[in-house]
A and B are shown apart, each in its own frame.
Chain A
Amino acid sequence: MNPLVLFHLAALLLLGLGLYGITSRRSLVGMLIAVELMLNGAGLAMVASARLTPAADELGQLGALLVMGLAAAEATLVLAIILVVAKRWGTSDSATISSLRG
């Protein structure tokens, strides 16, 4: 099979696993792990598209690098949000914090 297709299928596998994780996980930290999986899949697809087609190489590689930077920023913010939620509700369960009761 075409190597481009193989790398894209690996990236899609990561996307599927991440989507499954984010819907089935009960805790916010588990959801964060699933989001990281999906971001990795995105980076892999971008680099594969840049390396194996006539597109400019730097475009895909630096794009993936920017995705990594954004993932780091997002993980920091989500960590702070999880801490605030855990302090206020005593748990980081997604079901508990979706209630509107005071």
Chain B
Amino acid sequence: MEQLAATIAYGLYLALIVAGGLAAVRCRNLVRALIGLIMTLFGVAGMYFLMAAPFLALMQILIYVGAVSVLIFFAIMLTRTSGGEAGNENPQRRTGLREVLAVASGLLPAVILAAIVVGQAPQALPLKPEVPLAGLGQFLTGPYVLAFELISVVLVVAMAGAVLLGFERRKGQ
């Protein structure tokens, strides 16, 4: 029974990921592509829930859906492509050969890696008990402390760089 429910949930999340991902890469309108990306992000969060990692699923919704997608929306609204209106991609030069090459470049690495994954997969263990949040925090301040500190530095540098790039330099100053 539990197995069946897990399979159904997996199928549901996979459908979300596939539909959202296709919308994200195919839609000419970038706002629709962003909605597709958000759908995919929710699907991935569902998969984290399915693997009994609820903290990560909530972080996925908080960071990706809450912050990153808003940033991308700003990028869409603050730029305009040569088609004229903001959010629409230039429809020219979508030739057949280009599409075929793009599909090949996406499919080839994925299929090679999929063949390796299917061929070499180790026996999956039954799902381990959920890691308590305190355990994650202790790991973050223990073995991962350098990465933890470095990511703060990276975030500060990225934000400062973004502010510097977006800074308007006035003439004569």
Contacts and interface: CB of A to CB of B under 8 A. Distances in A.
Contacts of B113: 12, 15
Interface string B31-67: 0011001001100100110011101100110011001
Interface residues of B, number: 82
B71 A76 contact: yes
A5 to B, nearest CB: 5
Interface string A60-102: 0110111011111111111111111010001111011000000
Interface of B: 10, 13-14, 17-18, 21-22, 24-25, 30, 33-34, 37, 40-41, 44, 47-48, 51-53, 55-56, 59-60, 63-64, 67-68, 71-72, 74-76, 78-82, 89-90, 93-94, 98-99, 101-103, 105-107, 109-111, 113-114, 117-118, 121-125, 127-128, 131, 135-136, 139-140, 144, 147, 151, 154-155, 158-159, 161-163, 165-166
Interface of A: 2-10, 12-21, 23-30, 32-34, 36-37, 40, 43-44, 47-48, 51-54, 57-59, 61-62, 64-66, 68-84, 86, 90-93, 95-96
